[in-house]
Structure 1
Amino acid sequence: MKQAFSVRRAHMDDVKGIHSLLLQTAQKGLLLPRALIYLYSHIRNFWVVDAEDGGIAACCALAPVWQDLAEVCSLVVREDLRGKGLGRLVVEACVADCRELRIEKVFALTYQEKFFTHIGFEIVDKSVLPQKIWADCVHCPKYPDCDETAVFLTVGGDRTHG
């Protein structure tokens, strides 16, 4: 029987599960680790998918960086649940959040460019991204020699509502 997954906004009691999921991936060098205090203070940015076992199956955050620009970050799908569309669910929730916030452009820095291009993002040169986005990068051990790929999406949708 195929399990139906749904995405929801993260709650404060999800922080430790999100932290654990991010830490496992950060230890592999695939994203920046996030401290618990950071997660508690940015919980409103996060979307999650619950796993049947009660844990977090996937998470992703939308981090606004400027009036018309946001970053999709901290995207992780639990290893045993990959390939089930959970990454797409949380990224689509972030893009829908962009529409709600009237943010026109969203980007990500990623090692998973195939995933992002498959869901509509395009690969861009990092030099087209404003300097403002590099605030987190100074905490990365690979800075300033970033080997991630920049992907970008212009957010469509009805912007006339009010």
Structure 2
Amino acid sequence: MIEYKKARLKDIKSMQNLVRPEVESGVILPRSDDEIATNIRSYTLAFDDDRLIGYSALHIHAENLAEIRSLIVDLDYRGKSVGSNIVKALLDEAKSMEITQVFTLTYRSRFFENLGFIQIPKERLPAQKIWADCIKCKHFPVCNEIALIRNL
């Protein structure tokens, strides 16, 4: 049975191991152990028994704007609603904080569109997103990620 729960500091090593192939391929931005630890409360994890099979973070940008980032699901569990359930949990968390919009940058726009997100121009994203995160990407400034947003 798959369980969804908030991350703990002891999960960081497993989180880094799960995301490593996507970081190496440039699909997900690298995050240091210290950065994950600092933001540990923003992560929701999926476990099958004690095995970490996926996670994502809800990063707050402003009073009414958050971002879903670093969504990763183990290859063996893709297509089994694990990613959708993680995103839904993060959307519920955003709603509970009275956040009105959640955005994401992704190469898999259809996945997010199926969850009610719509494409927007990247220029609508907060400037701090570009300078805090995107500048770390090996694809910057030539980025082909798609920006999507959902109203809550």
Using structure 1 for the length normalisation, give the TM-score.
0.89
Deviations 1:31-59 (A, max 9, x none): 1011111111111000001124x221110
Aligned partners of 2:27, 2:48: CA distance in 1, in Å?
22
1:158 match: none
Aligned partners of 1:140, 1:147: CA distance in 2, in Å?
12
Secondary structure of the structure 2 residue equivalent to 1:13: helix
Q: Which has the higher strand share?
A: 2
Matching of residue 103 in structure 1 with residue 99 in structure 2: yes
Letter in 1 for 2:51: G
2:46 match: 49
1:78 match: 74
1:136 match: 133
Aligned partners of 1:29, 1:136: CA distance in 2, in Å?
13
What's the Cα RMSD here? 1.1
Aligned partners of 2:105, 2:124: CA distance in 1, in Å?
13
Aligned partners of 1:23, 1:83: CA distance in 2, in Å?
20
Structure 1 gap segments, 5+ residues each: 156-162
Kept in 1, the 8 Å contact 2:68–2:104? The answer is yes
Structure 2 gap segments, 5+ residues each: none
Secondary structure of the structure 1 residue equivalent to 2:27: coil
Aligned partners of 1:46, 1:127: CA distance in 2, in Å?
26
Match of 1:37 among 27, 34, 38: 34
Structure 1 stretches of 4+ with a deviation exceeding 3 A read none
Percent identity over the alignment?
A: 30
Structure having the higher Rg: 1
Aligned partners of 2:47, 2:98: CA distance in 1, in Å?
27
Kept in 1, the 8 Å contact 2:59–2:69? The answer is yes
2:7 match: 10
| Residue correspondences, number | 151
Kept in 2, the 8 Å contact 1:58–1:78? The answer is yes
Aligned partners of 1:74, 1:25: CA distance in 2, in Å?
10
Using structure 2 for the length normalisation, give the TM-score.
0.94
Aligned partners of 2:61, 2:67: CA distance in 1, in Å?
7
